[in-house]
Amino acid sequence: MTSFADIAPLLEQQEIELPSWAFGNSGTRFRVFPQRGVPRDPFEKVADAAKVHELTGLAPRVALHIPWDEVEDFATLRKHAEDLGVALGTINSNTFQDEAYKLGSLAHRDAAVRRQAVDHHLRCLEIMGETGSRDLKIWLADGTNYPGQDDMRSRQDRLAESLAEIYAHVGEDQRLVLEYKIFEPAFYHTDVPDWGTSYAQVTALGDRATVCLDTGHHAPGTNIEFIVMQLLRLGRLGSFDFNSRFYADDDLIVGAADPFQLFRILVEVVRGGGYGRDSGVAFMLDQCHNVEHKIPGQIRSVLNVQEMTARALLLDADALEVAQRAGDVIAANSVFMDAFSTDVRPDLARWRESRGLSADPMRAYAESGYQERIEAGRTGGHQAGWGA
Ligand code: LRH
Ligand code: MN
Ligand code: MN
């Protein structure tokens, strides 16, 4: 039997990166619901992310999205983050908002558009030098809406060429991480729709190119933990974008829709050596909080990941192996379910207190007065559509 005391030292290694965009206003294609007190610039986003880390001890880095988070001087933003006890993390490139990218970016037919998209990635790499970031994460909206709209094969070749040009500028201590997504915004075909395509593209680049698995980017019913296992087995799982979904890319709080799936994923992460600071697998959130407050949404999310990680670490691997070897299907499943069914919340509360944190970070936030302060203090910023 594995006890909580056995896994406590491993929990210290948990680091979950927060997305800067989770703190800003968001919505669906039907409506953006503005909230009071949302950040007006990247500095305030970093401050909110630092609050999450202060209360949970779980989120020491903030991922940026470029150009959403362009600032005049990244050294100043970096210093601001460090003063607040966090670091700047993954740089996410954005080639999905400009008019020029309507028919694609890195896979576009027009060399001038590809040039613009490659240059944007080179700018992201330059920023990484200033922020001290390790990972350049690329997610592309490239694809088509109608059969016959473009030639899928030559798009794949052009994508490979563009990625190779970007990869040539990735430093020795940096990585390129390619994220896949089954559909949306393209509805007929997407140029990087699945882990196999991402894997094929990154292996052609070199060792410092890996795959990002966003948990919301698969068809319903997909066995995501199988993909986790396979990518770890192949040594190409670079990072996670955690969130949860009921239907498509819902970007809901991780662990909210299907905690058992999150557990199964984390079991494969632990099993495959993907857990821990030196594993090379970055845990990130990629979420939007459309109807709930942003900061508590992020606190709940990192706590959910921690809770399922603790349960996954509690899985009795020896007992599982014995049952599997004996072909005892029900016993093996029971060992698995025992770990999933363990209520680790009281132990985690005590563990937090032992590290000088509040036993209940959600309550600590509610009582901190931070929400009231930002609502009163941040006015006239990115509150598009906010009435008087
Ligand atoms: C695409 C995606 C990708 C983007 C983010 C805003 O759906 O998951 O990671 O960078 O959303
Ligand atoms: Mn994502
Ligand atoms: Mn997504």
- Does residue 163 surpass a pLDDT of 80? yes
Alpha helices in the chain (DSSP H): 4-11, 42-56, 74-83, 111-131, 152-167, 195-205, 224-233, 259-271, 294-313, 317-325, 329-340, 345-354, 361-368, 370-377
Which CATH architecture is the domain 4-377 placed in? Alpha-Beta Barrel (3.20)
Q: Write out the residues surrounding ion ligand 3, Cβ under 5 A.
A: 249
CB atoms within 10 A of CB 329: 10
Residue nearest to atom 7 of ligand 1 (CA): 249
Task: With beta carbons less than 8 A apart as the criterion, state whether 110 and 83 touch.
Answer: no
Q: How far from the centroid of its chain's Cα atoms is residue 254's Cα?
A: 10
The overall average pLDDT reported for the chain is 96
Beta bridge partners of 92: 65, 137
User: What pLDDT, on the 0 to 100 scale, is given for residue 56?
Assistant: 98
User: What pLDDT, on the 0 to 100 scale, is given for residue 379?
Assistant: 84
Confidence of residue 1 (pLDDT cuts 50, 70, 90): confident
Cα(218) to centroid(ligand 3), Å:
10
Q: Which ligand 1 atom lies nearest to the CA of residue 243?
A: 8
Domain boundaries, the chain: 4-377
- Does residue 385 surpass a pLDDT of 80? no
Cα(126) to centroid(ligand 2), Å:
22
Q: What is the pLDDT of residues 48-101, one digit of tens each?
A: 999 999 999 999 999 999 999 999 999 999 999 999 999 999 999 999 999 999
Task: With beta carbons less than 8 A apart as the criterion, state whether 250 and 257 touch.
Answer: yes
Q: Is the CB of 17 under 6 A from ligand 1?
A: no
User: What pLDDT, on the 0 to 100 scale, is given for residue 230?
Assistant: 98
Q: What is the pLDDT of residues 6-53, one digit of tens each?
A: 999 999 999 999 999 999 999 999 999 999 999 999 999 999 999 999
Beta bridge partners of 138: 178
Residue nearest to atom 1 of ligand 1 (CA): 139
Q: Is the CB of 69 under 6 A from ligand 1?
A: no
Q: Is 176 helix (H, G, I), strand (E, B) or coil?
A: strand
Q: What is the pLDDT of residues 197-229, one digit of tens each?
A: 999 999 999 999 999 999 999 999 999 999 999
Q: What is the pLDDT of residues 234-244, one digit of tens each?
A: 999 999 999 99
Confidence of residue 171 (pLDDT cuts 50, 70, 90): very high
Instruction: Give backbone dihedrals phi and psi of 166, rounded to 5 degrees, phi first.
Output: -65, -45
Q: Is the CB of 180 under 6 A from ligand 1?
A: no
3-class secondary structure per residue, 130-150: HHCCCEEEEECCCEECCCCCC
Residue nearest to atom 9 of ligand 1 (CA): 139
* Residue 85 zone, left/alpha/beta (φ > 0; ψ -120 to 50; rest): left
185 preceded by cis ω (within 30°)? yes
Cα distance between residue 43 and residue 2, in whole Å: 43
67 preceded by cis ω (within 30°)? yes
Cα distance between residue 244 and residue 225, in whole Å: 14
Residue nearest to atom 11 of ligand 1 (CA): 286
Q: Is the CB of 286 under 6 A from ligand 1?
A: yes
